[in-house]
Copies of this chain bind each other. A is one copy, B any other.
Amino acid sequence: MSQPLRLGIAGLGTVGVGVVQILRKQAKLLQARTGREIVISAVSARDRTKDRGVTLSSYAWEDDPVALAKRDDVDVFVELIGGEDGPAKDACEAALALGKDVVTANKAMLAMHGQSLAETAEERGCVIKYEAAVAGGIPVIKTLSEALAGNEITRVMGVMNGSCNYMLTRMEDAGLTYAEVFAEADGLGYLEADPQLDVGGIDAAHKLAILSSLAFGTKVNFAGIELEGIERVSIEDITAAADMGYKIKLLGVAQMTGRGLEQRMQPCLVPETSPLGQLQGGTNMIVLEGDSVGQIVLRGPGAGAGPTASAVLSDICDIARGVRGPVFGQAATKLEDATPALSKRPAAYYLRMALKDKPGALAKVAAVLGEAGVSIDRMRQYAHADDHAPVLIVTHKITRSDLDHALSAMATTNVVAADPVALRIEEV
């Protein structure tokens, strides 16, 4: 029988406690499945006195996660502290420096420092595993890096922030405004301490940056993501999109193009009948497309103690079984730079504007769009209210720069009441 695998767990929030609970409850099963006993040597958190609903007295305690990472009785450092810098990164670096494997759920750290951490790990012969960093309980890291290893990945796409999807579906279901739903979600504790991480799309973009690297063999490039949050999504747009057969989702898309890596995280329209369109509430969905496999869709809980702890356990069990491999699917030193490609691929767009009640207003808008090379697939004008008529347009496929020209020209017509809303319609 092999030696036990000895863990040091840093960070005892709901996920950390969830991991401790699974390791206890399923000890026998884990040993049967991995062929090895998995034990906790020591734990670390900020407040030793806090009641976490689980007895920790049988484990050594360290106030300092770096000290935990360095302990001789810790083989694997499990980092569940969070934060892109600070103690989480210090402790991971300390573990790697001593040749210890790392399991982490820290998307921010990997999105910002993944490349240097991976290089350090691979120099030392260590692994960094991070299934829990992206899409909670959904095994997207394992699927991309192992199950689809025979594929050239052509596109990665998905809804990766459950809080945003909850808010968007709640607006739709209850007819509430963004501000109302934001207050509600914040009150329910659904948002990060800094809500901008959620509603600004940053958390989801961290995840997309990690998936892109794995999918395309490029260095993690968070800064290269075209990023827009959901703050400007209005109930009017949700209603109008529904009227045209679409749902609005905060959608991440990564795609390798001839010009470089296209990475976008922004509110998009998707057909209401598509799997992404049908995704309700806090659930996550990842769509993976490969040249051989076609399209694989993974759906599941994107957050929460149980699902995230399940993903952490997947990594721990892999290490116990001796499953190793490069951090981002290929040797970190061989990863290519991800040249950001501004999204120049043509797409259909949804436009919503308020026309002033003037004769010939619609004709002017149509003329301006036509001059900019924007052809109209579908158009609806609704009855006037307050001297303005809401107009919805779905364009044929155009480039973003054609669209921008058309929007600028429209502003000069003096018949459009405010800046039109323009949202990309994603092909799913």
Contact = CB atoms under 8 A, between A and B. Distances in A.
A310 B297 contact: no
Interface in A146-193: 146-152
A318 B30 contact: no
A143 interface: yes
Given A294-B301, A307-B292, A142 B149 contact: no
Nearest to A137: B293
Contacts of A323: 146, 321-323
B324 A310 contact: no
A263 B289 CA distance: 32
A300 B306 contact: no
Given A296-B299, A309-B292, A139 B150 contact: no
Q: Is the interface of A mostly helix, strand, loop or mixed?
A: mixed
A290 B317 contact: no
Contacts of A125: none
A379 interface: no
A313 interface: yes
This protein's copies in its complex:
2
A152 B34 CA distance: 14
A329 interface: yes
A276 to B, nearest CB: 11
A314 B29 CA distance: 25
A32 interface: yes
A32 B217 contact: yes
A297 B294 contact: no
Nearest to A295: B300
A18 interface: yes
Interface string A307-339: 101111110111001111110011100100000
Nearest to A138: B296
A357 to B, nearest CB: 41
The 10 closest A-B pairs by CB, nearest first: A150-B313, A139-B147, A293-B310, A149-B317, A137-B293, A297-B299, A296-B300, A292-B310, A292-B306, A32-B330
Interface of A: 18, 22, 26, 29-30, 32-35, 131, 137-139, 142-143, 145-152, 217, 275, 278, 290-301, 304, 306-307, 309-314, 316-318, 321-326, 329-331, 334
